[in-house]
Amino acid sequence: MEREQRLQALMNTDNFMKRFKMELNQVKEGYIDLRVAIKEDMLRMGEIVNGGVILGLFDIAGALTIFTIDGVINGFTISLNTNFMRSLSGNYARIISESKSHGKTHAFIHLNMYNDEGENTAVANGVWGIYR
């Protein structure tokens, strides 16, 4: 439960993260399952989520994932490559983020985003620098 409490504190205090209504479904070392409410200010024409918002949510999920790794005290995004499969709309997005490998200074994270019907809407791979 300590990991989840750490992430919740970060989500509540980080100036960017606290703008979103997020809920942690599952947390373990190197892995998070995150649910994010889709709000009106996230939408563009056609009632779909803006691509920049999706990138921002992937960035948040990757950051939260590195904070589940033992000994990590801070980190930063080095790269985030994203592919969009379909537009995102509905009531919420679900993001599953997993460290595929991590060492002393870097973590390689794979992320998937799903709509509230369970359809995969986007996938990303990123590298985060980590401080221990």
Q: Spell out the domain ranges in the chain.
A: 2-131
Q: How confident is the model at residue 59 (pLDDT cuts 50, 70, 90)?
A: very high
Give per-residue pLDDT as tens, 20-51: 999 999 999 999 999 999 999 999 998 999 99
For the chain, the three-class secondary structure string (H helix, E strand, C coil) is CHHHHHHHHHHHHCCCHHHCCEEEEEEECCEEEEEEECCHHHEECCCEECHHHHHHHHHHHHHHHHCCCCCCCEEEEEEEEEEECCCCCCCEEEEEEEEEEECCCEEEEEEEEECCCCCEEEEEEEEEEEEC
pLDDT computed for residue 1 by the predictor: 58
Q: Which CATH number fits domain 2-131: 3.30.300.30, 3.10.129.10, 3.40.50.1820, 3.40.50.2020?
A: 3.10.129.10
Is the whole model's pTM more than 0.85, yes or no? yes
